[in-house]
Chain A
Amino acid sequence: QKEVEQNSGPLSVPEGAIASLNCTYSDRGSQSFFWYRQYSGKSPELIMFIYSNGDKEDGRFTAQLNKASQYVSLLIRDSQPSDSATYLCAVNTNPPGGYQKVTFGIGTKLQVIP
Protein backbone atom coordinates (compact mmCIF):
# COMPACT_ATOMS: atom_id res chain seq x y z
CA GLN A 1 0.00 0.00 0.00
CA LYS A 2 1.34 3.41 -0.95
CA GLU A 3 1.77 5.89 1.87
CA VAL A 4 -0.28 8.55 0.08
CA GLU A 5 -2.73 7.51 -2.58
CA GLN A 6 -4.46 9.60 -5.19
CA ASN A 7 -6.29 8.78 -8.38
CA SER A 8 -4.06 10.05 -11.19
CA GLY A 9 -7.07 11.02 -13.30
CA PRO A 10 -7.61 12.90 -15.46
CA LEU A 11 -10.64 14.30 -13.69
CA SER A 12 -12.69 16.33 -16.13
CA VAL A 13 -15.27 18.83 -14.90
CA PRO A 14 -17.20 21.53 -16.77
CA GLU A 15 -16.45 25.16 -16.06
CA GLY A 16 -18.41 26.40 -13.05
CA ALA A 17 -18.77 22.94 -11.50
CA ILE A 18 -17.30 21.66 -8.24
CA ALA A 19 -14.12 19.60 -8.60
CA SER A 20 -13.55 17.05 -5.85
CA LEU A 21 -10.04 15.68 -5.38
CA ASN A 22 -9.37 12.87 -2.94
CA CYS A 23 -6.39 11.50 -1.07
CA THR A 24 -5.90 8.69 1.45
CA TYR A 25 -2.86 8.08 3.62
CA SER A 26 -1.61 5.08 5.53
CA ASP A 27 0.31 6.50 8.51
CA ARG A 28 -2.05 7.22 11.43
CA GLY A 29 0.70 9.34 12.98
CA SER A 30 0.44 11.89 10.18
CA GLN A 31 -0.28 15.33 11.52
CA SER A 32 -0.19 17.83 8.68
CA PHE A 33 -1.79 17.75 5.29
CA PHE A 34 -1.10 19.92 2.28
CA TRP A 35 -2.41 20.42 -1.22
CA TYR A 36 -0.02 21.62 -3.90
CA ARG A 37 -0.90 22.64 -7.43
CA GLN A 38 1.45 21.96 -10.32
CA TYR A 39 0.86 23.46 -13.73
CA SER A 40 2.32 21.62 -16.69
CA GLY A 41 6.03 22.36 -16.98
CA LYS A 42 6.11 24.20 -13.66
CA SER A 43 7.04 23.28 -10.11
CA PRO A 44 4.51 22.59 -7.34
CA GLU A 45 3.16 25.47 -5.26
CA LEU A 46 1.24 25.30 -2.00
CA ILE A 47 -2.45 26.18 -2.14
CA MET A 48 -3.84 24.84 1.16
CA PHE A 49 -2.85 23.20 4.41
CA ILE A 50 -5.02 21.62 7.09
CA TYR A 51 -4.15 20.30 10.53
CA SER A 52 -7.48 19.59 12.23
CA ASN A 53 -10.45 17.40 11.41
CA GLY A 54 -13.18 19.15 9.53
CA ASP A 55 -13.27 21.72 6.77
CA LYS A 56 -11.02 24.65 6.01
CA GLU A 57 -12.06 27.19 3.42
CA ASP A 58 -9.91 29.62 1.45
CA GLY A 59 -11.72 31.39 -1.35
CA ARG A 60 -12.97 28.83 -3.85
CA PHE A 61 -10.94 26.07 -2.20
CA THR A 62 -12.06 23.87 0.71
CA ALA A 63 -9.85 21.25 2.29
CA GLN A 64 -11.53 18.48 4.26
CA LEU A 65 -9.78 16.20 6.73
CA ASN A 66 -11.02 13.03 8.40
CA LYS A 67 -8.23 11.48 10.45
CA ALA A 68 -10.35 8.51 11.57
CA SER A 69 -10.83 7.52 7.93
CA GLN A 70 -7.33 8.71 6.97
CA TYR A 71 -8.82 10.76 4.21
CA VAL A 72 -8.20 14.29 2.99
CA SER A 73 -9.91 16.02 0.11
CA LEU A 74 -9.86 19.28 -1.81
CA LEU A 75 -12.97 20.87 -3.24
CA ILE A 76 -12.72 23.57 -5.88
CA ARG A 77 -15.93 25.52 -6.33
CA ASP A 78 -16.82 27.37 -9.53
CA SER A 79 -13.99 25.61 -11.37
CA GLN A 80 -12.21 27.71 -13.98
CA PRO A 81 -10.10 26.61 -16.96
CA SER A 82 -7.15 28.20 -15.13
CA ASP A 83 -7.60 25.55 -12.41
CA SER A 84 -6.51 22.88 -14.91
CA ALA A 85 -3.39 21.44 -13.33
CA THR A 86 -2.14 18.47 -11.34
CA TYR A 87 -3.03 18.57 -7.66
CA LEU A 88 -0.61 16.89 -5.28
CA CYS A 89 -1.60 15.74 -1.83
CA ALA A 90 1.26 15.88 0.70
CA VAL A 91 1.35 14.40 4.17
CA ASN A 92 3.85 15.37 6.89
CA THR A 93 4.71 13.05 9.70
CA ASN A 94 6.82 14.01 12.72
CA PRO A 95 7.89 10.78 14.43
CA PRO A 96 8.93 11.08 18.11
CA GLY A 97 12.60 11.91 18.31
CA GLY A 98 12.82 12.10 14.55
CA TYR A 99 12.46 14.68 11.85
CA GLN A 100 9.55 15.52 9.66
CA LYS A 101 9.00 13.37 6.65
CA VAL A 102 7.03 14.70 3.70
CA THR A 103 5.34 12.21 1.42
CA PHE A 104 3.57 13.23 -1.78
CA GLY A 105 0.87 11.42 -3.69
CA ILE A 106 1.22 10.87 -7.42
CA GLY A 107 -1.15 13.76 -8.10
CA THR A 108 -4.55 14.05 -9.75
CA LYS A 109 -4.70 15.78 -13.12
CA LEU A 110 -7.70 18.11 -13.28
CA GLN A 111 -9.12 19.33 -16.57
CA VAL A 112 -11.75 22.07 -16.49
CA ILE A 113 -13.68 22.09 -19.74
CA PRO A 114 -14.89 25.56 -20.91
Chain B
Amino acid sequence: KAGVTQTPRYLIKTRGQQVTLSCSPISGHRSVSWYQQTPGQGLQFLFEYFSETQRNKGNFPGRFSGRQFSNSRSEMNVSTLELGDSALYLCASSNYRDRVEQETQYFGPGTRLLVL
Protein backbone atom coordinates (compact mmCIF):
# COMPACT_ATOMS: atom_id res chain seq x y z
CA LYS B 1 0.00 0.00 0.00
CA ALA B 2 1.43 3.39 -0.94
CA GLY B 3 2.27 5.77 1.86
CA VAL B 4 1.35 9.40 2.33
CA THR B 5 2.59 11.56 -0.50
CA GLN B 6 3.23 15.29 -0.46
CA THR B 7 3.96 17.68 -3.26
CA PRO B 8 6.05 19.60 -3.89
CA ARG B 9 8.96 18.39 -1.77
CA TYR B 10 10.82 21.68 -1.85
CA LEU B 11 9.63 25.19 -2.43
CA ILE B 12 11.25 28.61 -2.41
CA LYS B 13 9.02 31.67 -2.18
CA THR B 14 9.43 35.33 -1.35
CA ARG B 15 7.70 37.32 1.34
CA GLY B 16 4.15 38.31 0.50
CA GLN B 17 3.56 35.44 -1.90
CA GLN B 18 1.16 32.62 -1.27
CA VAL B 19 1.73 28.90 -1.49
CA THR B 20 -0.38 25.75 -1.80
CA LEU B 21 0.84 22.39 -0.58
CA SER B 22 -0.77 19.09 -1.43
CA CYS B 23 -1.15 15.84 0.48
CA SER B 24 -2.53 12.47 -0.60
CA PRO B 25 -3.25 10.17 2.35
CA ILE B 26 -2.85 6.42 2.50
CA SER B 27 -5.66 4.77 0.58
CA GLY B 28 -8.67 4.33 2.85
CA HIS B 29 -7.53 6.91 5.40
CA ARG B 30 -10.10 9.67 5.84
CA SER B 31 -8.33 11.84 8.39
CA VAL B 32 -5.59 14.21 7.32
CA SER B 33 -3.64 16.43 9.69
CA TRP B 34 -1.11 19.12 8.91
CA TYR B 35 1.87 20.07 11.03
CA GLN B 36 4.59 22.70 10.90
CA GLN B 37 8.02 21.62 12.09
CA THR B 38 10.79 24.06 12.95
CA PRO B 39 13.97 23.50 15.00
CA GLY B 40 12.88 25.88 17.72
CA GLN B 41 9.20 24.96 18.07
CA GLY B 42 9.14 21.30 17.12
CA LEU B 43 6.07 19.78 15.54
CA GLN B 44 3.09 22.09 15.80
CA PHE B 45 -0.43 21.13 14.85
CA LEU B 46 -2.10 23.24 12.16
CA PHE B 47 -5.43 21.53 11.50
CA GLU B 48 -7.16 18.22 10.92
CA TYR B 49 -9.68 17.32 8.26
CA PHE B 50 -12.06 14.38 8.24
CA SER B 51 -14.54 13.74 5.45
CA GLU B 52 -14.01 17.21 4.01
CA THR B 53 -14.67 18.94 7.38
CA GLN B 54 -12.14 20.72 9.53
CA ARG B 55 -12.45 19.12 12.96
CA ASN B 56 -9.58 20.69 14.84
CA LYS B 57 -7.45 23.74 14.43
CA GLY B 58 -4.19 24.76 16.05
CA ASN B 59 -3.07 28.22 17.10
CA PHE B 60 -2.01 29.60 13.77
CA PRO B 61 -3.10 32.85 12.11
CA GLY B 62 -5.82 32.91 9.50
CA ARG B 63 -3.19 33.09 6.77
CA PHE B 64 -2.99 29.34 7.15
CA SER B 65 -5.96 27.51 5.68
CA GLY B 66 -6.74 24.13 4.29
CA ARG B 67 -9.33 21.97 2.69
CA GLN B 68 -10.04 18.35 1.97
CA PHE B 69 -11.58 16.88 -1.12
CA SER B 70 -14.02 14.01 -1.47
CA ASN B 71 -11.16 11.61 -2.27
CA SER B 72 -9.52 12.61 1.06
CA ARG B 73 -6.69 14.48 -0.63
CA SER B 74 -5.93 17.69 1.19
CA GLU B 75 -4.38 21.02 0.40
CA MET B 76 -2.91 23.62 2.68
CA ASN B 77 -2.58 27.26 1.71
CA VAL B 78 -0.48 29.97 3.26
CA SER B 79 -1.13 33.49 2.11
CA THR B 80 1.07 36.55 2.52
CA LEU B 81 4.14 34.53 3.38
CA GLU B 82 6.45 35.72 6.15
CA LEU B 83 10.08 34.77 6.78
CA GLY B 84 8.97 32.87 9.88
CA ASP B 85 6.87 30.55 7.75
CA SER B 86 10.03 28.81 6.58
CA ALA B 87 9.63 25.29 7.89
CA LEU B 88 9.00 21.66 7.08
CA TYR B 89 5.29 21.09 6.56
CA LEU B 90 4.21 17.58 7.31
CA CYS B 91 0.97 15.92 6.45
CA ALA B 92 -0.24 12.85 8.31
CA SER B 93 -3.15 10.52 7.73
CA SER B 94 -4.90 8.12 10.05
CA ASN B 95 -7.35 5.27 9.74
CA TYR B 96 -10.51 4.67 11.72
CA ARG B 97 -10.35 0.91 11.82
CA ASP B 98 -9.55 0.63 15.54
CA ARG B 99 -8.26 2.77 18.40
CA VAL B 100 -4.58 2.30 17.64
CA GLU B 101 -5.00 2.99 13.94
CA GLN B 102 -7.23 5.98 14.66
CA GLU B 103 -4.67 7.62 16.88
CA THR B 104 -1.55 6.74 14.89
CA GLN B 105 -0.28 9.42 12.56
CA TYR B 106 1.29 8.17 9.33
CA PHE B 107 3.47 10.96 8.05
CA GLY B 108 4.37 11.96 4.55
CA PRO B 109 7.90 13.04 3.58
CA GLY B 110 7.04 16.70 4.04
CA THR B 111 7.37 19.87 2.00
CA ARG B 112 10.30 22.06 2.90
CA LEU B 113 9.35 25.69 2.41
CA LEU B 114 11.92 28.46 2.35
CA VAL B 115 10.67 32.03 2.40
CA LEU B 116 13.18 34.66 1.29
Enumerate chain A interface residues (CB-CB to B < 8 A). Answer: 32, 34, 36, 42-46, 49, 88, 90, 92, 99-107
Contact = CB atoms under 8 A, between A and B. Distances in A.
Pairs A-B, 6 closest by C-beta atoms: A106-B42, A43-B107, A104-B43, A99-B55, A92-B103, A32-B103
A82 B3 CA distance: 23
Nearest to B35: A104
Contacts of B108: 43
Interface of B: 33, 35, 41-45, 48, 50, 55-56, 90, 99-100, 102-110
Highest count of chain A CB atoms <10 Å: which of B55, B99, B104, B109: B104
Given A43-B90, A43-B107, A49 B56 contact: no
What is the predominant secondary structure among interface residues of chain A facing chain B?
strand
Highest count of chain B CB atoms <10 Å: which of A42, A43, A104: A43
Contacts of A46: 104-106
A49 B104 contact: yes
What is the predominant secondary structure among interface residues of chain B facing chain A?
strand
Contacts of B48: 99
A46 B100 CA distance: 11
Given A32-B103, A34-B103, A101-B45, 18 more contacts: A36-B105, A43-B90, A43-B107, A43-B108, A43-B109, A44-B43, A44-B107, A46-B104, A46-B105, A49-B104, A88-B42, A88-B43, A103-B45, A104-B35, A104-B43, A104-B45, A105-B42, A106-B43
